[in-house]
Chain A
Amino acid sequence: MPVVGRIIRIAGPLVVADNMTGAKMFEMVEVGEERLIGEIIRITGDKAYIQVYESTTGLRPGEPVYGTGSPLSVELGPGLLGQIYDGIQRPLSLIRDITGSIFVKRGIKVPAIDRKKKWHFKPNTSIKPGDKLEPGDILGVVQETSLIEHRIMVPPDVHGVLEWLAPEGEYTVEDTIAVLTVPGKGKVELKMLQKWPVRKPRPVKEKLEAVEPLITGMRVIDTMFPIAKGGTAAIPGPFGSGKTVTLHSLAKWSAAKVVIYIGCGERGNEMTEALIKFPKYKDPWTGKPLLERTILIANTSNMPVAAREASIYTGVTIAEYYRDMGYDVLLVADSTSRWAEALREISGRLEEMPAEEGFPSYLASRLAEFYSRAGRAYLLGRPPRVGSVTIVGAVSPPGGDFTEPVTANTKRFIRVFWALDASLAYSRHYPAINWITSYSAYVDLVAKWWHEHIDPRWKEYRDEAYRILMREDELKEIVKLIGTEGLSEKDKLVLEVARLIREGFLQQNAFDPIDCFATPQKQWAQLMTIIDFYRLALRLVEQGIPVAKIKERLAIKLRNFVIKSRFEIPNDKVEEIYKLREELLNELNKILEEHLKGGSKT
């Protein structure tokens, strides 16, 4: 029997209630006469400390607190895709339509998943009554959007003998679609609508190593600092360095099957942008509207802070649910720093002993728990399948200082670090991913994929481009002291080619219809052109031809290559890049020939 307590103290989002004997840690409760949603975060004696997910203005001591007996959970089932939810999975579009207000008023209760909508359910023909079913076994499928087939699974905590399976037809999420006899429980009716507590990872059979790149269409990521399916990445950067644009690009163009985008304590307009634009953009992999594979979770900076803390868990639980169907899911969290600040605020109100910069001492463990929910895995149930959750978390370090607690702790749990750089952003080098401080632990892993699918020289060329950039960085220090004229011709060439790599490869305009997304084939053509140009030009320099001369003859051609290959040649006309490559190399060869002829004359 759930408890009923009484409020004895209110301070911001923290409410203390007594008479709460029998309440459990992290139990969801309803606070006050308006029944605001809250969660128990500490229990002392008969007192429960509750973080409330809605504004507590006007709440008074003496008002009741109702226990629910269950932890904070999300609703899972067909109807999630294309929705926009707040941090505790309230559907914001529906709230707008029901209230007729542009503002989010509190105390509104709307189910996360539409109860009335009928879905066309097709039962799994390979199972029949009398079969023993295990957790994760697929009961049937529903075409949720034209992109995603929603697989209805036996919940992770249920197993038993199938008594009855619904025939093909139209069902709401609350209709029974299967009946199982569960040992010790008798007959259990299964519906398409299921629930799962947000703070508990959904189980898998076995976690696997990441092997395949998650192609994003962004050159600096795919070629320089790749992310793998099931991997973890952090993208820290000061404000204005382009975090959100990069994250939006990831959500738009990456080869994930399902994308969960969490706007956690960020700008309202950014979520609006996704909501308005995603239906217009086409998934480059399937040509379908992007919103059909996307779920947005928006707990913007001005929405209640406690729900911001929950939004991350709401998102990752939904991500795991789609992974369990056998899909590759990308979870983007913008920004984990705001989530950490929510932790700090609640911790402060609980008067806990603060660690660094006021953050609670358990910040690192919470981050670890979150990133550990990423991964590629063998999933429960039949047919046997593999799925993955890739987590990309934005970090917003105060003052762009990467030594602050959230960035420093995050670095311990991620494998890819895309460090955004203010000075690159100031010169409008986007994405402003600094190639000196960024890293990816997946380069060698994904090289195998590139070598099999694109070109066996990928790693060699990629490393060479990387070395040129490293060398440029060293040379810049020297140039600062002696100017460019004092450099050797070879080093001057390195500077020119490095500029070509920066302008023609690393930079990518997220808002240009052609440049925004480059297939691996196009990326390779661009990379190869630059490196082959470098190799041949190096031969010229070794023959004594000055870089200034090469530059004079090729300046316009190089600019053309950059402009054309980025903005004018689409992904399906990669052969034109190879033509530009030929032109560049031919011109170099001409210079070489002229030089050799001239040389033979003297």
Chain B
Amino acid sequence: MSLQQATGKKLAVAREYETVSEIKGPLLIVEGVSDAAYDEIVEVELPNGEIRRGRVLETSTNYAVVQVFEGTTGIPVTGTKVRFLARTLEIKVSDEMLGRIFNALGEPIDGGPPIVSGVWRDVNGDPLNPAARNYPEDFIQTGISAIDGMNTLVRGQKLPIFSGSGLPHNMLAAQIARQATVRREGEEFAVVFAAIGIMYDEFLFFKRFFEETGALKRTAMFVTLADDPPMLRLVTPRAALTLAEHLAFDLGMHVLVILTDMTNYCEALREISAAREEVPGRQGYPGYMYSDLASIYERAGRAIGKKGSITQMPILTMPNDDITHPIPDLTGYITEGQIVLSRELWNRGIYPPINVLMSLSRLMKEGIGPGKTREDHANVSDQLYAAYARAQELRQLATIVGEESLSEVDRKYLRFAEAFEQKFLKQGFYENRSIEETLEIAWEVLSILPESELFKIKDEYIKKYHPKYRKKTQNQQKKS
């Protein structure tokens, strides 16, 4: 099963059956159904009048397999009515939804009034035509040096945070949501937030954060909690992205979508796949998980002739901090880079604990440079990477052979790494650095190294930005 792209095709009228023959896991087998459409939505009415929803996973001339969103607990074989509703799974979307909180199916759960205006959209969306995309290239300043300086985010990018349990990914995501701006425009992002199977306290953290920062009025939240049925977790990100697409491509807004936690999503996918007795791929996850994740992550970007954009920031916790686990692995193959958090840095008191070496922004090159950030940005970033990677090697070496048996230059690398972590990486939860400040700090820590080690920076930038030469020119200016 992969949730397929929808069509908007007219189906026949609703039909009702009372012929459930088998129930296993979240699945109902309904006999005698000859015309159920693939992906059609059904209502399941229990003998006590309770109504649940589901969708058709497989259909044939004499039966249909139905997956029940809210789970099959308490459903009897006899007396259960199954109504095929002649439509695919749709939610009503509108800009009224900003400032509100919804369940996975787009129904308000904040006690407020129902959404009045709006259009019905299939939650699965359609694939964006690659020939209709516009390439993302607008620099987003997040105010976080490790991101802006070395893993620049651009508008329309999908950049996940790879975290581990107990690491401050929620804080980081919240800080980004608060601080992200496109300079010169200064326009704030609309935030669409999908909580996928998270714990209630995490939900509260975000809710309170959005309230306190005044961001709630430009935020729509879609929430399924950890104890909700797995099927709802599969719908939550799709419902959120359906709203995001409406805001971005119909209403011209710039939307930041935060999906947390995609690990819960993948677990749900595995659970349902196992219930269907499908042939498993790696570690029991279904073989189609790549395509399924792509149908979520690819719903980001810019489009020709559209003012708005969707920037996606999925969060996932790597099981056992293992980046080769199928969930981060398949995600990394689809997304345009990743921000990796490090337990080691966090334990040493460094926030944000971003492991820059393992992090990457694939679209960085388009978002930086003269007119966007600064001409030396790319060189400086490359040099930081190369130097910090070299320093990490030397740190390992120093633990074996001792620091004193390293050469003088090598010892400078160790000092560089220390300064890099304490001055460049480390910053406050409320500290919002401009890109100039970020590059300033970068030059400061790079100047610890001898100039002949700066293999990645062109001479003209060294002369212009290296603190050594800048002090000279400043002194000259003072004298004159």
Residues of A within 8 A of B (CB): 8-13, 16, 34, 55-62, 84, 92-93, 95-96, 101-107, 238-240, 244, 263, 265, 267-269, 271-273, 275-277, 298, 300-305, 338, 341, 344-345, 348, 354, 357-358, 396, 398-401, 425-429, 479-485, 503, 509, 511, 555-556, 558-559, 562-563, 567-568
Inter-chain CA distance A484–B413, complex, in Å, is: 15
- Is B148's beta carbon under 8 Å from chain A? no
Which of A57, A267, A429 contacts B88 (CB under 8 A)? A57
Q: Please, which residues of chain A bring their CB within 8 A of the CB of B30? A: none
Is the beta-carbon distance between B61 and A345 smaller than 8 angstroms? no
Q: Please, which residues of chain A bring their CB within 8 A of the CB of B211? A: none
**Which residue among A56, A84, A105, A268 has the maximum number of chain B CB atoms within 10 Å of its CB?**
A268
Q: Please, which residues of chain A bring their CB within 8 A of the CB of B325? A: 399
- Is B9's beta carbon under 8 Å from chain A? yes
Give 19 A-B pairs besides A58-B9, A276-B135, A302-B127 with Cβ atoms closer than 8 angstroms: A11-B57, A12-B1, A13-B4, A102-B249, A104-B126, A240-B337, A265-B290, A268-B133, A268-B301, A269-B136, A271-B133, A298-B130, A301-B290, A302-B294, A304-B5, A345-B287, A483-B406, A484-B410, A562-B455
Inter-chain CA distance A12–B57, complex, in Å, is: 8
CB distance from B428 to the nearest CB of A (A): 27
CB distance from B126 to the nearest CB of A (A): 4
CB distance from A50 to the nearest CB of B (A): 13
- Is B346's beta carbon under 8 Å from chain A? no
Is the beta-carbon distance between B34 and A398 smaller than 8 angstroms? no
CB distance from B332 to the nearest CB of A (A): 4
Which of A338, A425, A481, A485 contacts B400 (CB under 8 A)? A481
Q: Please, which residues of chain B bring their CB within 8 A of the CB of A426? A: 357-358, 385, 389
> Digit string of B247-259 for contact with A (CB within 8 Å is 1, else 0)?
0010000000000
Knowing A102-B303, A103-B128, A563-B459, say if A344 contacts B287 (CB, 8 Å): yes
B406 (CB) vs chain A CBs: closest residue: A483
Is the beta-carbon distance between A93 and B131 smaller than 8 angstroms? yes
CB distance from B37 to the nearest CB of A (A): 5
Knowing A57-B7, A357-B281, say if A103 contacts B126 (CB, 8 Å): yes
Residues of B within 8 A of A (CB): 1-2, 4-7, 9, 11, 34-40, 57-61, 88, 124-136, 156, 249, 278-282, 287-288, 290-291, 294-295, 298-299, 301, 303-306, 324-326, 329-330, 332-334, 336-338, 357-358, 360, 362-363, 365, 378, 382, 385-386, 389-390, 396-397, 400-402, 405-407, 410, 450-456, 458-459
Is the beta-carbon distance between A428 and B38 smaller than 8 angstroms? no
**Which residue among B298, B333, B389 has the maximum number of chain A CB atoms within 10 Å of its CB?**
B333
CB distance from B71 to the nearest CB of A (A): 22
Knowing A267-B334, A302-B295, A358-B280, say if A9 contacts B129 (CB, 8 Å): no
Is the beta-carbon distance between A302 and B298 smaller than 8 angstroms? yes
Is the beta-carbon distance between B336 and A269 smaller than 8 angstroms? yes
Inter-chain CA distance A298–B305, complex, in Å, is: 21
Q: Please, which residues of chain B bring their CB within 8 A of the CB of A62? A: 34-35, 61
Which of B40, B382, B407 contacts A58 (CB under 8 A)? B40
A14 (CB) vs chain B CBs: closest residue: B58
Is the beta-carbon distance between B365 and A511 smaller than 8 angstroms? yes
Is the beta-carbon distance between B59 and A103 smaller than 8 angstroms? no
Inter-chain CA distance A262–B362, complex, in Å, is: 19
CB distance from B243 to the nearest CB of A (A): 16
Which of A57, A102, A298, A398 contacts B124 (CB under 8 A)? A57
B398 (CB) vs chain A CBs: closest residue: A483
Is the beta-carbon distance between A60 and B35 smaller than 8 angstroms? yes
Inter-chain CA distance A11–B276, complex, in Å, is: 12
CB distance from B378 to the nearest CB of A (A): 8
CB distance from B158 to the nearest CB of A (A): 9
Knowing A96-B132, A511-B365, say if A427 contacts B385 (CB, 8 Å): yes
Is the beta-carbon distance between B298 and A300 smaller than 8 angstroms? yes
Is the beta-carbon distance between A104 and B57 smaller than 8 angstroms? no
Knowing A57-B6, A102-B129, say if A428 contacts B382 (CB, 8 Å): yes
CB distance from B355 to the nearest CB of A (A): 9
B63 (CB) vs chain A CBs: closest residue: A9
Inter-chain CA distance A302–B360, complex, in Å, is: 22
Q: Please, which residues of chain B bring their CB within 8 A of the CB of A276? A: 134-135
Inter-chain CA distance A273–B5, complex, in Å, is: 24
CB distance from A448 to the nearest CB of B (A): 35
Inter-chain CA distance A503–B390, complex, in Å, is: 13
Is the beta-carbon distance between B389 and A427 smaller than 8 angstroms? yes
Is the beta-carbon distance between A301 and B287 smaller than 8 angstroms? no
Q: Please, which residues of chain B bring their CB within 8 A of the CB of A102? A: 128-129, 132-133, 249, 303-306
CB distance from B264 to the nearest CB of A (A): 21
Inter-chain CA distance A344–B131, complex, in Å, is: 28
Inter-chain CA distance A57–B2, complex, in Å, is: 11
Is the beta-carbon distance between A58 and B455 smaller than 8 angstroms? no
Q: Please, which residues of chain A bring their CB within 8 A of the CB of B130? A: 84, 92, 263, 268, 271-272, 275, 298, 300
A239 (CB) vs chain B CBs: closest residue: B332
Inter-chain CA distance A276–B401, complex, in Å, is: 52
Q: Please, which residues of chain B bring their CB within 8 A of the CB of A265? A: 290-291, 294
Q: Please, which residues of chain A bring their CB within 8 A of the CB of B125? A: 103
CB distance from B159 to the nearest CB of A (A): 12
Which of A272, A301, A302, A563 contacts B458 (CB under 8 A)? A563
Inter-chain CA distance A56–B362, complex, in Å, is: 33
Is the beta-carbon distance between B127 and A300 smaller than 8 angstroms? yes
Knowing A12-B1, A267-B336, A483-B406, say if A559 contacts B454 (CB, 8 Å): yes
Is the beta-carbon distance between A105 and B459 smaller than 8 angstroms? no
Q: Please, which residues of chain B bring their CB within 8 A of the CB of A481? A: 400-401
Inter-chain CA distance A59–B60, complex, in Å, is: 11
Inter-chain CA distance A184–B435, complex, in Å, is: 76
Which of A84, A268, A344, A480 contacts B128 (CB under 8 A)? A268
> 4 closest Cβ contacts across the A-B interface?
A399-B324, A427-B389, A301-B294, A483-B401
**Which residue among B38, B124, B378 has the maximum number of chain A CB atoms within 10 Å of its CB?**
B38
Is the beta-carbon distance between B279 and A301 smaller than 8 angstroms? no
B365 (CB) vs chain A CBs: closest residue: A511
A6 (CB) vs chain B CBs: closest residue: B61
A-B contact pairs, 20 of them (CB 8 A): A9-B59, A12-B38, A13-B4, A57-B124, A58-B38, A59-B38, A93-B131, A102-B133, A102-B305, A269-B136, A275-B131, A302-B127, A305-B288, A341-B287, A345-B287, A345-B288, A398-B329, A428-B385, A511-B378, A556-B451
CB distance from A351 to the nearest CB of B (A): 8
Q: Please, which residues of chain B bring their CB within 8 A of the CB of A106? A: 5, 7
Inter-chain CA distance A244–B61, complex, in Å, is: 45
CB distance from B317 to the nearest CB of A (A): 17
Inter-chain CA distance A450–B290, complex, in Å, is: 43
Inter-chain CA distance A231–B338, complex, in Å, is: 34
Is the beta-carbon distance between A483 and B6 smaller than 8 angstroms? no
Knowing A268-B298, A426-B357, say if A358 contacts B287 (CB, 8 Å): yes
Inter-chain CA distance A401–B455, complex, in Å, is: 32
Q: Please, which residues of chain B bring their CB within 8 A of the CB of A482? A: 401
Knowing A305-B291, A503-B455, say if A57 contacts B133 (CB, 8 Å): no
Q: Please, which residues of chain A bring their CB within 8 A of the CB of B133? A: 102, 268-269, 271-272
Q: Please, which residues of chain B bring their CB within 8 A of the CB of A92? A: 129-132
Q: Please, which residues of chain B bring their CB within 8 A of the CB of A96? A: 129, 131-132, 304
Knowing A57-B6, A239-B329, say if A84 contacts B131 (CB, 8 Å): yes
Inter-chain CA distance A503–B457, complex, in Å, is: 12
CB distance from B380 to the nearest CB of A (A): 12
Is the beta-carbon distance between B332 and A559 smaller than 8 angstroms? no
Q: Please, which residues of chain B bring their CB within 8 A of the CB of A562? A: 455
Inter-chain CA distance A400–B453, complex, in Å, is: 31
Is the beta-carbon distance between B135 and A559 smaller than 8 angstroms? no
CB distance from B213 to the nearest CB of A (A): 30
Q: Please, which residues of chain B bring their CB within 8 A of the CB of A104? A: 126-129
CB distance from B405 to the nearest CB of A (A): 4
Q: Please, which residues of chain A bring their CB within 8 A of the CB of B450? A: 555
Is the beta-carbon distance between B59 and A60 smaller than 8 angstroms? yes
Q: Please, which residues of chain A bring their CB within 8 A of the CB of B407? A: 484-485
